[in-house]
Amino acid sequence: MPDVFAEITVLIADRATLFRHGLRGLLKEHRPGWSCAEAETQEELTAYLTAEAADLLLFDIQIGGVAGLQRLRQDYPQQKIVVLSDCNERAAILDSLTAGANGYVLKSTSMSQLLRALEIVLHGGVFAPAALVGATPAAKEKAAEAPVSPLLAHLTDRQVEVFQLLSEGCSTKTIARRMGLAIGTVKVHLAAIYRVLGAHSRIEALAKARGAIALPVVERAAQMLAA
């Protein structure tokens, strides 16, 4: 089967010239069919996206911050955006995912991990680093004290229960066993939850519902992908 992403356009938006040039060279080395463009400021990347099309935007969060990311998502709702950052803090990762990023990659990551993350996003997934998996007791307590997200008000009591188990890192099979439901029934509840939250994956659903309930574990898959 041919790779539909063998030839794509990547826009690298980063304030550091050396980083942009270096990443561009590495991408061309590992993905020769990819075409790369560069932007140094929010204005430059906006001008590029207005005039051209980019299959993937690599966005340095320091360029415009979370507010800049939110504007990008609002202005270009279909754009695939991967945040590049030096910050490995759980709150910063969740802020970016909540603001509309399709992925969050640390600048210190290896090239193989970066490519893996980009391909996940290109195929419609959401990528998060290992820092998003698990939480300290203090983080759990803070999340538990947060106000309930209005989004969860649209879920049934049973769906909220499924969502709670989902946030604890339970697999579909485990949720079914613990709730005494058929796996197919759990999948129906999960589909309804994703639809209400406007999400396509567990990571995205939990990011959108941030503050709704404690998030001790986001998704076992995220841990494997970031390993």
Q: Average pLDDT over the chain, rounded to whole?
A: 79
Q: Check pLDDT > 70 for residue 224.
A: no
**Do 216 and 142 meet the contact criterion of CB atoms below 8 Å apart?**
no
In this predicted model, what pLDDT tens digit does every residue of 33-55 receive, in sequence order?
999 999 999 999 999 999 998 99
CA nearest 140: which of 34, 32, 46, 213?
213
Range with the lowest mean pLDDT among 13-22, 134-143, 196-205? Answer: 134-143
Better-scored residue on pLDDT, 165 or 145? 165
Half-sphere exposure of 107 (CA within 13 A, CB side): 17
pTM of the model: 0.64
**Do 166 and 190 meet the contact criterion of CB atoms below 8 Å apart?**
yes
Q: What is the pLDDT, as a whole number, of residue 146? A: 39
Chain centre to alpha carbon of residue 55 = 16
Write out the CATH class of domain 9-132.
alpha beta
Nearest-angstrom CA–CA distance, 55 and 165:
35
Better-scored residue on pLDDT, 60 or 120? 60
- Residue 5 tokens read as 């992403």
Q: Check pLDDT > 90 for residue 58.
A: yes
- Residue 103 tokens read as 């992925």
Residue ranges of the chain assigned to CATH 3.40.50.2300: 9-132
- Residue 60 tokens read as 């340095």
| 139-152 mean pLDDT | 45
Q: Check pLDDT > 80 for residue 220.
A: no
Residue 217: which region, alpha, beta or left (left: phi > 0; alpha: psi -120 to 50)?
Answer: beta
In this predicted model, what pLDDT tens digit does every residue of 74-128 receive, in sequence order?
899 889 999 999 998 878 888 888 788 888 999 998 999 899 889 888 887 778 7
Q: Check pLDDT > 50 for residue 170.
A: yes
Architecture in CATH for domain 137-226: Orthogonal Bundle (1.10)
Q: Check pLDDT > 80 for residue 136.
A: no
| 163-170 mean pLDDT | 79
Residue 137 confidence class, pLDDT cut points 50, 70, 90: very low
